[in-house]
Amino acid sequence: MKTKKWIACLFMLIIANVGFAQYKGSISAKLYLVKDVVEQASQLDKSDALVKIQGFIIDRVNDDTYWFKDSSGRIQVEIDEDQIPNFPFNEKTELIIVGEVDYDVLEEVEIEVEFIQKVNS
Protein backbone atom coordinates (compact mmCIF):
# COMPACT_ATOMS: atom_id res chain seq x y z
CA MET A 1 0.00 0.00 0.00
CA LYS A 2 2.84 2.40 0.82
CA THR A 3 4.34 1.73 -2.60
CA LYS A 4 1.13 2.82 -4.33
CA LYS A 5 1.02 6.04 -2.30
CA TRP A 6 4.67 6.71 -3.10
CA ILE A 7 4.08 6.17 -6.82
CA ALA A 8 0.99 8.41 -6.75
CA CYS A 9 2.94 11.22 -5.01
CA LEU A 10 5.82 10.90 -7.45
CA PHE A 11 3.42 10.99 -10.40
CA MET A 12 1.76 14.18 -9.06
CA LEU A 13 5.14 15.88 -8.64
CA ILE A 14 6.14 15.02 -12.20
CA ILE A 15 2.84 16.29 -13.59
CA ALA A 16 3.15 19.54 -11.61
CA ASN A 17 6.67 20.18 -12.91
CA VAL A 18 5.74 19.47 -16.52
CA GLY A 19 2.82 21.91 -16.30
CA PHE A 20 5.06 24.68 -14.95
CA ALA A 21 7.79 24.11 -17.53
CA GLN A 22 5.32 24.53 -20.37
CA TYR A 23 3.84 27.83 -19.16
CA LYS A 24 3.81 30.20 -22.13
CA GLY A 25 2.12 33.28 -20.67
CA SER A 26 3.75 36.59 -19.91
CA ILE A 27 5.84 37.24 -16.82
CA SER A 28 5.32 40.41 -14.80
CA ALA A 29 8.63 42.14 -15.31
CA LYS A 30 9.56 45.47 -16.85
CA LEU A 31 11.17 45.26 -20.29
CA TYR A 32 14.65 46.80 -20.23
CA LEU A 33 17.35 47.49 -22.76
CA VAL A 34 20.65 45.83 -21.85
CA LYS A 35 22.35 49.23 -21.46
CA ASP A 36 19.68 50.27 -18.93
CA VAL A 37 20.18 47.07 -16.92
CA VAL A 38 23.94 47.70 -16.82
CA GLU A 39 23.49 51.36 -15.84
CA GLN A 40 20.96 50.54 -13.10
CA ALA A 41 22.55 47.25 -12.00
CA SER A 42 23.28 48.26 -8.41
CA GLN A 43 19.70 49.39 -7.73
CA LEU A 44 18.17 46.43 -9.57
CA ASP A 45 20.34 43.98 -7.63
CA LYS A 46 19.33 45.51 -4.28
CA SER A 47 15.62 45.45 -5.14
CA ASP A 48 15.62 41.81 -6.32
CA ALA A 49 13.22 42.92 -9.05
CA LEU A 50 12.77 40.74 -12.10
CA VAL A 51 13.93 42.29 -15.36
CA LYS A 52 12.94 41.29 -18.87
CA ILE A 53 15.28 41.66 -21.86
CA GLN A 54 14.70 40.80 -25.50
CA GLY A 55 17.42 39.85 -27.93
CA PHE A 56 19.82 37.05 -28.78
CA ILE A 57 22.21 34.68 -27.03
CA ILE A 58 25.34 35.15 -29.09
CA ASP A 59 28.08 33.15 -27.36
CA ARG A 60 28.72 30.62 -24.61
CA VAL A 61 31.26 31.63 -21.95
CA ASN A 62 31.22 28.43 -19.87
CA ASP A 63 28.81 25.69 -18.72
CA ASP A 64 26.08 28.06 -17.53
CA THR A 65 27.12 31.55 -18.65
CA TYR A 66 26.31 33.11 -22.03
CA TRP A 67 26.59 36.50 -23.72
CA PHE A 68 23.22 38.04 -24.53
CA LYS A 69 22.87 40.96 -26.97
CA ASP A 70 20.20 43.46 -27.89
CA SER A 71 20.34 46.69 -29.90
CA SER A 72 21.89 48.59 -26.98
CA GLY A 73 24.70 46.28 -25.86
CA ARG A 74 25.55 42.93 -24.36
CA ILE A 75 25.37 41.34 -20.92
CA GLN A 76 26.22 37.99 -19.38
CA VAL A 77 23.33 35.71 -18.47
CA GLU A 78 23.59 32.71 -16.18
CA ILE A 79 21.29 29.87 -17.20
CA ASP A 80 21.08 26.91 -14.86
CA GLU A 81 20.65 23.53 -16.50
CA ASP A 82 16.98 23.32 -15.48
CA GLN A 83 16.29 26.69 -17.19
CA ILE A 84 17.73 25.76 -20.60
CA PRO A 85 14.84 25.94 -23.10
CA ASN A 86 13.44 22.72 -24.47
CA PHE A 87 13.50 24.19 -27.98
CA PRO A 88 16.57 24.56 -30.22
CA PHE A 89 18.09 28.04 -30.38
CA ASN A 90 21.14 29.76 -31.82
CA GLU A 91 22.47 33.31 -32.25
CA LYS A 92 19.61 34.08 -34.69
CA THR A 93 16.81 32.97 -32.36
CA GLU A 94 15.16 35.98 -30.73
CA LEU A 95 14.45 35.35 -27.05
CA ILE A 96 12.86 37.00 -24.07
CA ILE A 97 14.81 36.40 -20.87
CA VAL A 98 13.48 37.14 -17.39
CA GLY A 99 15.74 37.10 -14.37
CA GLU A 100 17.38 38.88 -11.45
CA VAL A 101 20.34 41.20 -11.82
CA ASP A 102 23.56 40.17 -10.08
CA TYR A 103 25.86 43.14 -9.54
CA ASP A 104 29.39 42.96 -8.16
CA VAL A 105 31.83 45.86 -8.51
CA LEU A 106 34.68 43.54 -9.48
CA GLU A 107 32.78 41.45 -12.04
CA GLU A 108 30.58 41.79 -15.10
CA VAL A 109 26.91 42.58 -14.51
CA GLU A 110 24.98 39.35 -14.92
CA ILE A 111 21.36 38.27 -15.09
CA GLU A 112 20.46 35.07 -13.26
CA VAL A 113 17.84 33.62 -15.60
CA GLU A 114 14.49 32.50 -14.23
CA PHE A 115 12.61 32.08 -17.51
CA ILE A 116 13.33 31.97 -21.26
CA GLN A 117 10.78 32.32 -23.99
CA LYS A 118 11.13 32.33 -27.77
CA VAL A 119 9.79 35.48 -29.43
CA ASN A 120 6.97 34.61 -31.79
CA SER A 121 8.12 35.13 -35.35
So what's the pLDDT on residue 111? 97
Mean pLDDT to the nearest integer, 87-103? 95
Alpha helices in 1-121 (DSSP H): 2-21, 34-39, 41-47
pLDDT at position 31 over 70: yes
- The answer to whether residue 111 is domain-embedded is yes
So what's the pLDDT on residue 28? 72
Closest alpha carbon to 102 in 51, 60, 27: 51
Mean pLDDT to the nearest integer, 25-40? 86
- The answer to whether residue 5 is domain-embedded is no
Mean pLDDT to the nearest integer, 87-97? 95
pLDDT at position 36 over 90: yes
Non-local CB neighbours of 51 within 8 Å, separated by 6+ positions: 29, 30, 32, 37, 44, 98, 99, 100, 101, 111
CATH number of the domain bearing residue 91:
2.40.50.200
Contact between 101 and 77 under an 8 Å Cβ cutoff? The reply is: no
- The answer to whether residue 18 is domain-embedded is no
